[in-house]
Amino acid sequence: MKLFPILTAILVIGSLYMLVFERQALLAFAAGEPVSQSGADEAAEDADASSAVRVVAVSSKAAPIEQAVLVRGRTEAARQVDVKAETSGQVVSDPLRKGAFVTTGDILCELDPGTRQVSLADAEARLAEARSRVPEAQARLEEARAQVPAAEAGVIEAKSRLREAEINNNAATSLSADGFASQSRVAATEAAVESARAAVQTANSRLESAKAGVASAKAGVENAQAGIQSAEAAVASAEKEIERLTIRAPFDGLLESDAAELGALLQPGMSCATVIQLSPIKLVGFVPETEVDRVELDAQAGARLASGSDVLGKVTFLSRSADPQTRTFRVEVTVPNDDLSIRDGQTVEILIRTEGQDAHIVPQSALTLDDNGTLGIRAVEDTNHVVFLPVGVLRDATDGIYVSGLPASVDVIVVGQEYVSEGVAVNPTYREASE
């Protein structure tokens, strides 16, 4: 092995090193100047700066943005009722055609009354008869009550005579025992006592009869009053039956179907017409369970119909129970529809306004993934080194994407982010966000 080629190679490498990396020190040595340590450090710094990767960054500051929940759904009539007959009868009115506008109380179907007017007259006659019985029953009650005091007075008088007869009998018995009264007198007083007792029983019987007459008279009055109530119920039933012959619109709306045809026979429960209310109209959608907590009642909402029309309204209903199949929650937005331009069942996209939050807007191209597949951006630290920051995408915009999860101020690398990794030194060039 020859030593000379090896030494020659070492000298060449050393010369190249001095010319490239220690150029300043070599020139100073050739000029006879002392080589300072600071000069070496500056040379090292220049070497580091020249080796840093050049990137373009944008200084971004967080700003509050309005948030919204996007829901797809359909329009739905505020109310829809299938107006049905409550009694039987033949239709005697001309039918209204579907699409006609009706107001509350308008006649939809008129049924033949038949003999219902006769039934009403009979019920009214029975009511008059029942009312006429009340004065007679009350007169009987007053008469029966008037007999009670006389019967009570008779009882008192009979009891008084009984006490008198008993006193006379006791006196006669005492005198007879002493020999001052005859046995015939004692027998007479005993007979008087028995007669007085019979009179008391008779008076009590008359009093009980008088009281029974009062009770019977009261029952007669109550029966008369019950007859009045029964007759009044019959009259009310006959009037209600006549009222049911006229089927009216329950609210302002449009006829979704023709009314029953003239001459058709309607039975209870058969449809006369279907009425829908389209002003105001509801926009119905279903919110995912991940978004439902962001929706509140009375929140402002905008919507776009499939026809391209835009409407505004408020959230008027939010379900508390999820659909068992889709695990979504029903939400209703009420919007005005005075001109009835919005129809029932149209497809609609609804944006419901939610509470805003701070976010950064970055170019879509600035988004990247780390080694674990996490979505984020690469930014420049204060030491001009790269750092990876994960983000959450909020929504799109015309000039970028709104993201969350970043500090209040951040320098986002927008050019060259795919060629650097976390911790790499960079030499950033800054530009305005609008460029």
Tokens of 303: 């919507």
Output 365 or 44, whichever has higher pLDDT. 365
Class of domain 276-356: mainly beta
> Can you give the pLDDT at residue 85?
96
pLDDT at residue 135 is higher than 80: yes
Angle between helices 23-30 and 3-20 (to 10 degrees): 100
Residue 322: strand, helix, or coil:
coil
Closest CA to 414 of 370, 371, 361, 374: 361
The pLDDT tens digits for 391-412 are 988 878 888 899 988 999 999 9
Q: How far apart are CA 389 and CA 411, in angstroms?
A: 11
Which region among 207-211, 349-353, 431-435 has the lowest average model confidence (pLDDT)?
431-435
pLDDT at residue 229 is higher than 60: yes
- Tell how many helices (H) and how many strands (E) occur in the chain: 5, 20
Q: Parallel, antiparallel, or unpaired: how do β-strands 300-305 and 310-318 relate? A: antiparallel
pLDDT at residue 272 is higher than 70: yes
Q: What is the CATH number of domain 116-243?
A: 1.10.287.620
pLDDT at residue 428 is higher than 60: yes
Tokens of 198: 């019979």
DSSP per-residue string spanning 7-74: HHHHHHHHHHHHHHTSHHHHHHHHTT----HHHHHHHHHHHHHHHSEEEEEEEEE-EEEEEEEEEEEE
Q: Is-contact 312 335, C-beta < 8 A?
A: yes
Q: What is the mean pLDDT of residues 3-27?
A: 63
Give whole-number Cα distances, 393 to 228, 363, 377, 400, in Å: 78, 12, 11, 11
> Can you give the pLDDT at residue 33?
55
For 85, residues 6+ apart whose C-beta sits below 8 A from its C-beta are 109, 111, 244, 247, 266, 267, 268, 269, 270, 271, 272
Q: Does domain 57-65+358-431 have CATH number 2.40.420.20?
A: yes
State CA 368 to chain mean position distance: 44
Phi, psi of 193 (to 5 degrees): -65, -45
> Can you give the pLDDT at residue 319?
95
Mean pLDDT, rounded, of the chain: 86
Tokens of 93: 């009115």
Tokens of 50: 């020249």
Please report, rounded to a whole number, the percentage of residues in the chain having pLDDT higher than 90.
Answer: 51
> How does residue 48 score in pLDDT terms, banded at 50, 70 and 90?
low
Residue 247: strand, helix, or coil:
strand
> Can you give the pLDDT at residue 434?
60
Hey, how many other C-beta atoms are within 10 angstroms of the C-beta on 395? 13
- Partners of 107 in the β-ladder: 248
Residue 89 DSSP code = E
pLDDT at residue 129 is higher than 70: yes
> How does residue 164 score in pLDDT terms, banded at 50, 70 and 90?
confident
Residue 113 DSSP code = -
pLDDT at residue 239 is higher than 90: yes
Q: How far apart are CA 252 and CA 48, in angstroms?
A: 81
Q: What is the mean pLDDT of residues 94-108?
A: 94
Residue 100 DSSP code = -
Domain ranges of the chain: 1-33, 57-65+358-431, 116-243, 276-356
> Can you give the pLDDT at residue 214?
86
Hey, how many other C-beta atoms are within 10 angstroms of the C-beta on 342? 23
> Can you give the pLDDT at residue 273?
96
Q: Is-contact 93 262, C-beta < 8 A?
A: yes
Angle between helices 23-30 and 37-51 (to 10 degrees): 150
